[in-house]
């Protein structure tokens, strides 16, 4: 009996570690990661991961500028090194940068040293490109174990997740992405999107449709730092 219980607990624990991404769990309750802002304020944050991309990111920046929205970009260090000019454009547009590791690796199984290396290499890339170092970071796939969270804290990074996953990366159509985000967004929500991927044009189109509809609900947009 005891062995069965321990076995089930071990499997659940392993699944928790392996499948982790996006939803809050014990790691977050204990370690205070952020997956949303204050529910009493009518403010939400759009966040864009995995860029910058030399074509799609500037297109998104132009759209955000037209819409008058400031957003947050969790950039990958290797892409920052490849496109420092685009990284500068993000900052010049008044948006916030976050650290999304250098190689976009899944971190829960990584040693603390490796996590710190990923964060430091990305900080250096962002600093070379923009002269600034971000204070926020997001683990790829939302993957985190207690060790990951501790390493982020040691690197003085606030670990920021999301409570609304647009699933834009799953190849959903623009209306599907829009409906999914509208259904799930509440005051304080952090919305996860990806403009830099193949097909990221759909994400940009979804943003154009989402912003006026969320504003019609009385919601305003802010960066993570301002949320």
User: Which is nearer to Zn ion, 160 or 219 (by Cβ)?
Assistant: 160
Euclidean distance between CA atoms 142 and 130, whole angstroms: 25
Considering 36, 41, 49, 123, which one is annotated as catalytic? 49
Q: Residue 103's closest CA among 86, 85, 120?
A: 120
Q: Point out which residues bind Zn ion (CB under 5 A).
A: 49-50, 140
Beta carbon of residue 204, minimum distance to Zn ion (angstroms, whole number): 17
User: Which is nearer to Zn ion, 190 or 219 (by Cβ)?
Assistant: 190
Euclidean distance between CA atoms 109 and 18, whole angstroms: 9
Question: How far are the Cα atoms of 21, 60, 134 from residue 54, in angstroms, in the given order?
Answer: 27, 11, 21
Considering 36, 83, 194, 198, which one is annotated as catalytic? 194
Residue 35 DSSP class: S
53 is catalytic: no
Q: Where on the phi/psi map is residue 175: left (φ > 0), alpha (ψ -120 to 50), or beta?
A: alpha
Contact 203, 193 (CB under 8 A): yes
User: Which is nearer to Zn ion, 51 or 58 (by Cβ)?
Assistant: 51
Q: Residue 226's closest CA among 38, 57, 31?
A: 38
Beta carbon of residue 186, minimum distance to Zn ion (angstroms, whole number): 23
Task: Quote the tokens at residue 2.
Answer: 């005891």
226 is catalytic: no
Please give the backbone phi and psi of residue 84, each rounded to the nearest 5 degrees, phi first. -65, -30
Beta carbon of residue 12, minimum distance to Zn ion (angstroms, whole number): 25
Contact 118, 105 (CB under 8 A): yes
Beta carbon of residue 149, minimum distance to Zn ion (angstroms, whole number): 17
Q: Which residues are catalytically annotated?
A: 49, 194
């Amino acid at each position: 009996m005891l062995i069965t219980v321990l076995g089930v607990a071990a499997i659940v624990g392993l699944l928790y570690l392996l499948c982790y991404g996006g939803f809050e769990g014990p790691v977050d309750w204990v370690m205070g990661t952020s997956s949303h802002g204050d529910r009493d304020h009518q403010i939400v944050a759009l966040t864009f991961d995995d860029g910058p991309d030399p074509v799609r990111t500037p297109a998104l920046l132009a759209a955000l500028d037209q819409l008058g929205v400031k957003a947050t970009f969790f950039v990958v260090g290797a892409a920052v090194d490849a496109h420092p000019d685009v990284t500068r454009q993000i900052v010049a547009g008044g948006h916030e940068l976050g650290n999304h590791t250098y190689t976009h690796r899944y971190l829960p199984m990584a040693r603390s040293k490796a996590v710190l290396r990923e964060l430091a290499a990305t900080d250096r890339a962002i600093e070379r490109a923009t002269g600034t170092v971000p204070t926020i970071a997001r683990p790829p796939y939302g993957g985190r174990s207690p060790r990951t969270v501790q390493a982020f804290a040691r690197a003085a990074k606030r670990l920021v997740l999301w409570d609304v996953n647009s699933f834009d990366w799953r190849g959903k159509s623009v209306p599907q992405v829009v409906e999914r985000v509208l259904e799930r967004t509440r005051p304080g929500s952090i919305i996860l999107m990806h403009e830099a991927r193949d097909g990221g044009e759909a994400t940009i189109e979804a943003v154009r449709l989402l912003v006026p509809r969320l504003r019609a609900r009385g919601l305003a947009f802010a960066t993570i730092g301002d949320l």
